[in-house]
A and B are shown apart, each in its own frame.
Chain A
């Protein structure tokens, strides 16, 4: 079975600083990986996804993520954080299991942005 670990529960960065959110996964085959963002009181919005090919994927809102198979990681990055990026971020791994599509989510990282 797949699993996802987001080791940082809470991160605080200054506006304009760079950001990296960590995600480690466990899965026996080729993973399908996602990053979602959740603003307060809202549902989850897809930021980006990795299926195969280029290990550096670009997403919306200026985010990117890099898949590193050797480290079982899929870290999310942004070069310059804006105050509107304050939200909770979820990493997820997807696969077929027992004939069904199953997505497993991490426990989330809450991002605070200070002026």
Chain B
């Protein structure tokens, strides 16, 4: 089975801090994704990566950056954390298929609180 591991289940940080969320997958998937999940808004895509050192903006990239130095690892960075970034963050990975038909596999999420 695919395993997507997020480094922290719960994280509490202060406004202005630089925050790193780490995600590792063990199935050699090409694609990796970062979402944030808020009540009533579903999952919103922050950034994704389809190859090492490649990244693409999703729907809500403002205030975030990402890093993918190795195929199995995808990091989400909050450059200067703000209270409106308090949320559940979900990492996912998938294999490249034709026409986008490969399901994504998710980690258990990181619940981040910014005080």
A contact set with B: CB distance below 8 Å = 9, 30, 32, 34, 36, 41-46, 49, 51, 90, 94-97, 100-103, 105-108
Contacts and interface: CB of A to CB of B under 8 A. Distances in A.
Contacts of B99: 30, 32, 95-96
A51 B107 contact: no
A51 B99 CA distance: 10
Interface in B80-107: 90, 92, 94, 96-107
Contacts, number: 63
B101 A107 contact: no
B91 to A, nearest CB: 8
Nearest to A99: B50
Interface in B13-53: 31, 35, 40-43, 45, 48, 50
**SS class of chain A's interface: helix, strand, loop or mixed?**
strand
Given A100-B48, A107-B40, A43 B100 contact: no
A73 B90 CA distance: 26
Given A101-B31, A107-B41, A96 B100 contact: yes
B103 A49 contact: yes
Nearest to B108: A43
B17 to A, nearest CB: 24
A100 B40 CA distance: 26
A90 B109 contact: no
Contacts of B90: 43-44
Contacts of A103: 100, 104
Contacts of A30: 99
A108 to B, nearest CB: 5
Contacts of B104: 44, 46, 103
B4 interface: yes
